[in-house]
Amino acid sequence: MIERIDTGARSSKIVKHNGVAYLTGQVAEGDTIQEQVQACLDKIDDLLVRAGSSREKMLRVTIWLADMSDFAGLNAVWNAWVPEGHAPARACGEAKLARAELKVEFIVDAAY
């Protein structure tokens, strides 16, 4: 069975199937990479709870940075947020994001 949560015309905020919750990409406002990363991670926390999951159950995270020069700023916030011993598989690359002011986007898959 596939369960979709907060489904709109373009996407669902969460899709659950076979024990895995797939979260839609998360972006956020903010002047600095650290502000945007923290705001995205706050949104991810909320979505994980709504999916019946948690940070400890994240399986894979894909991170897109608009500029790889923000990598250290991303990791400063990320490293404090990920529970010790529960780091997911992670990939980070550079990509042109949907709006010029966006610095980062996260895509999360987690067990529930």
Sorted by sequence, the CB contacts under 8 Å of residue 48 that are 6+ apart come out as 21, 23, 54, 55, 57, 58, 108, 110
Question: What separation in angstroms does the CA of 31 have from each of 38, 70, 93, 104?
Answer: 12, 12, 20, 12
Q: What is the pLDDT along the chain (112 residues), one digit of tens a residue?
A: 999 999 999 999 999 999 999 999 999 999 999 999 999 999 999 999 999 999 999 999 999 999 999 999 999 999 999 999 999 999 999 999 999 999 999 999 999 9
